[in-house]
Amino acid sequence: MKKFLVLLLALSLVFAMTACGGGSSEEAADDSDAAAVESVEGQTFKVSTEPTFPPFEFVDEESGEITGFDIDLIKAIAEDQGFSVEVEQMGFDAIVGAVQTGVTDIGASGMSITEERLETVDFSDPYIDAGLAIAVQESNDEITGEADLQGKTCAVQLGTTGASKAMELQEQGVLTDVKTFNTVDVVMNELKTGGVDCVINDLPVTQAYIAKMGGIKVVGDTLVSDSYGFAVMKGNTALLDAINAGLENVKANGTYDELIAKYFQ
């Protein structure tokens, strides 16, 4: 028993010494910065995306690979910062939870930086501006903007800012029904085939669908303006700092502008 107590005392002394050691707080901050920079180099991170969101993320018809502005951008950032990425498909509404729990490392999916999401994940600096727009069938002359949505039905993608906006309009008694789908291709098809009166979705993506499939048009003003960021687990400053540093570098060296030219003309 005495031996045990001595051992316990010795252990607690070691613990106390470790806890008190470590120098000044300035040194400690420097140490953690160095660790942050070193720790992502050579690592491979999982990137999750929902690829029915052109030109930000989509499946290339020829190669079958997931590509797009977000994907090329995070790959360029990774290359700049010396880490690797593995891109995988995930339902959009699952991405924030997957980042939060560490199932995936980076959410790169045209994801708007919102107060609500910032409660559970961290976002990189904004990398592009976007916003919500209303789309209707090309032949529709009745809906010319938000003011004409009374009594109408709308399709949206699950878990998106477009879905939140539509639910809000339904709660206010404006929209009579909101149909929610997992992917944006199905949302757009629902509008084109007349299953709903309108779609609320991110403007650049709706424009990409219009260019591809026709039969629909954007009406009215932008409903909500926002910016996209890459999502990482709360407190993962090593990865977040690397993404932000990489973003700054690819903006400075012209790569970012090349990607804008490639995907938005």
Which residues contact ligand GLN by CB under 6 A?
A: 50, 53, 92, 109-112, 157, 160-161, 184, 202
Rounded least distance, CB 112 to ligand GLN, Å: 4
d(CA 187, CA 157): 7
Rounded least distance, CB 224 to ligand GLN, Å: 10
| Nearer to ligand GLN among residue 93 and residue 241 (C-beta) | 93
| Nearer to ligand GLN among residue 156 and residue 238 (C-beta) | 156
Rounded least distance, CB 184 to ligand GLN, Å: 6
Rounded least distance, CB 195 to ligand GLN, Å: 19
Using DSSP bridges, classify how beta strands 128-137 and 106-107 pair: parallel, antiparallel or unpaired. unpaired
Rounded least distance, CB 179 to ligand GLN, Å: 15
d(CA 265, CA 248): 23
| Nearer to ligand GLN among residue 187 and residue 219 (C-beta) | 187
| Nearer to ligand GLN among residue 52 and residue 255 (C-beta) | 52
Distances (CA, A) of 187 to 16, 69, 136, 157, 205: 60, 21, 12, 7, 12
Among 163, 104, 105, 139, smallest CA distance to 215 is for 139
Packing angle of the helix pair 237-252, 255-263 (nearest 10 deg): 80
| Nearer to ligand GLN among residue 81 and residue 161 (C-beta) | 161
| Nearer to ligand GLN among residue 131 and residue 195 (C-beta) | 131
Number of Cα atoms under 13 Å in the Cβ half of residue 102: 2
Rounded least distance, CB 100 to ligand GLN, Å: 15
Structure tokens at 69: 């502005």
| Nearer to ligand GLN among residue 205 and residue 243 (C-beta) | 205
Rounded least distance, CB 239 to ligand GLN, Å: 20
